Structure 1
Amino acid sequence: MLQPNFPKELILLMQGIRDLGGQAFIVGGAIRDFLLNKDFPKDLDIEVFGVEISVLENLLSKTGKLSKVGKSFGVLKLKLDDREYDFSLPREEWKTGSGHRGFQVRTLTSLAYPIAALRRDFTINSIAYDPLSHQYLDPFQGKRDLERKTLQHIGTSFSEDPLRVLRAMQFSARFEFRVAPETIRLCRKLDLAELPKERIFEEFRKLLLLSEKPSTGLETARKLGVLDFFPELKKLHGIPQDPQWHPEGDVWTHTLRVLDAASTLKTGTDSKDLELMLAALCHDFGKEPTTSLVNKRWRSHSHDEMGSAQTGIFLERLTRELPLIRKVQQLVRDHLRPVQLYNDRARVRSPAIRRLALRVPIKDLVRLAHADYLGIIEVNDRQYQFPAGEWLLEEASKLSVHERPPQPFLKGRHLLELGMKQGPSMGSLLEKAFDAQINGQIRSLKEALDWAKTMLPQESL
Structure 2
Amino acid sequence: MTGFESRVPFPGTFRLSEAASTLLDALAAVGGRPFVVGGSVRDALLEPELTFKDVDVEVFHLDVDAVAAALRTVGLVDEVGRAFSVLKVRVDGQDFDVSLPRREVKSGDGHRGFDVVADPRTSLVKASARRDFTLNALLFDPATGELVDCWGGLDDLRAGVLRHTTPAFAEDPLRVLRAVQFAARFGLRLAPETAELCRELVGEFEHLSTERVWTEWYKIATRGKHMARALTVLVETGWDVHFPELSALRGLKQDLRWHPEGDVFTHTGLAGDQAARLADEAGLVGDDRAVIVLGTLLHDVGKVDHTQFSRRKDGTLKVSSHGHAEAGVAPARTFLRAIGAPHHLTRRVLPLVAEHMVTASTNKPTAAAVRRLARRLAPATMTEWALVVEADKGGRGRGSRPGGTGPWLALAEEVGAEQTPVTGLLRGEHLIEVGMMPGPAFGPLLRAALAAQDDGEFEDEAGAKTWLAARLHTSS
Specify if TM > 0.5: yes
Q: Relative to structure 1, is the Cα distance of residues 69 and 264 closer, same or farther in structure 2, using a 3 angstrom cutoff?
A: same
Moved more, 418-427 or 36-45: 418-427
Matched, 1:173 2:173: no
Deviation at 1:295, TM superposition (A): 4.1
Q: Give the Cα separation in 1 of the matches to 2:457 and 2:71.
A: 67
Matched, 1:198 2:206: no
Q: Relative to structure 1, is the Cα distance of residues 83 and 303 closer, same or farther in structure 2, using a 3 angstrom cutoff?
A: same
DSSP 3-state at the match of 2:219: helix
Deviation at 1:428, TM superposition (A): 4.9
Matched, 1:373 2:393: yes
Counterpart contact for 2:132–2:169, Cα < 8 Å: yes
Q: Give the Cα separation in 1 of the matches to 2:323 and 2:107.
A: 49
How many residues of Structure 1 are paired with residues of Structure 2 in the alignment? 449
Deviations 1:81-101 (A, max 9, x none): 34211111112367999xxx9
Q: Which amino acid aligns with 1:20?
A: V
Q: Relative to structure 1, is the Cα distance of residues 453 and 91 closer, same or farther in structure 2, using a 3 angstrom cutoff?
A: same
Q: Give the Cα separation in 1 of the matches to 2:335 and 2:154.
A: 38
Matched with 1:29 is 39
Matched with 1:312 is 333
Q: Percent identity?
A: 35
Counterpart contact for 2:36–2:57, Cα < 8 Å: yes
Q: Give the Cα separation in 2 of the matches to 1:64 and 1:457.
A: 73
Counterpart contact for 1:193–1:229, Cα < 8 Å: no
Gaps of 5+ in 2: 1-10, 313-317
Gaps of 5+ in 1: none
Deviation at 1:80, TM superposition (A): 2.6
Deviations 1:129-172 (A, max 9, x none): 12133233222222222222222211110111111112222222
Matched, 1:359 2:376: yes
DSSP 3-state at the match of 1:341: coil
Matched, 1:232 2:248: no
Q: Give the Cα separation in 1 of the matches to 2:255 and 2:265.
A: 14
Q: Which amino acid aligns with 1:14?
A: L
Q: Relative to structure 1, is the Cα distance of residues 280 and 426 closer, same or farther in structure 2, using a 3 angstrom cutoff?
A: closer
Deviations 1:226-247 (A, max 9, x none): 2122222222111111122222
Match of 2:418 among 391, 402, 419: 402
Deviation at 1:60, TM superposition (A): 2.1
Counterpart contact for 1:30–1:40, Cα < 8 Å: no
Counterpart contact for 1:94–1:105, Cα < 8 Å: yes
Matched with 2:461 is 445
Counterpart contact for 2:270–2:397, Cα < 8 Å: no
Counterpart contact for 2:368–2:455, Cα < 8 Å: yes
Structural mapping, 1:288-437, within 5 Å: 288-296=304-312, 297-342=318-363, 345=364, 349-360=366-377, 361-376=381-396, 378=398, 385-386=402-403, 388-413=404-429, 422-437=438-453
Q: Relative to structure 1, is the Cα distance of residues 155 and 330 closer, same or farther in structure 2, using a 3 angstrom cutoff?
A: same
Q: Relative to structure 1, is the Cα distance of residues 81 and 17 closer, same or farther in structure 2, using a 3 angstrom cutoff?
A: closer
Deviation at 1:458, TM superposition (A): 10
Q: Give the Cα separation in 1 of the matches to 2:24 and 2:249.
A: 52
Counterpart contact for 2:59–2:100, Cα < 8 Å: yes
Matched with 1:52 is 63
Deviation at 1:29, TM superposition (A): 0.6
Q: Give the Cα separation in 1 of the matches to 2:63 and 2:300.
A: 55
Q: Relative to structure 1, is the Cα distance of residues 242 and 80 closer, same or farther in structure 2, using a 3 angstrom cutoff?
A: same
Q: Give the Cα separation in 2 of the matches to 1:53 and 1:415.
A: 70
Deviations 1:111-133 (A, max 9, x none): 22221111101111111112133
Matched with 1:80 is 91
Q: Which amino acid aligns with 1:322?
A: H
Moved more, 31-40 or 155-164: 31-40
Matched with 2:234 is 221
Deviation at 1:457, TM superposition (A): 9.0
Counterpart contact for 1:152–1:183, Cα < 8 Å: yes
Q: Give the Cα separation in 1 of the matches to 2:191 and 2:182.
A: 13
Q: Relative to structure 1, is the Cα distance of residues 403 and 20 closer, same or farther in structure 2, using a 3 angstrom cutoff?
A: same
Q: Give the Cα separation in 1 of the matches to 2:105 and 2:250.
A: 38
Q: Relative to structure 1, is the Cα distance of residues 425 and 178 closer, same or farther in structure 2, using a 3 angstrom cutoff?
A: closer
Q: Relative to structure 1, is the Cα distance of residues 206 and 102 closer, same or farther in structure 2, using a 3 angstrom cutoff?
A: farther
TM-score between the two structures when normalised by the length of structure 2: 0.86
Deviation at 1:350, TM superposition (A): 3.2
Deviations 1:346-379 (A, max 9, x none): xx54333212101112111111111111123527
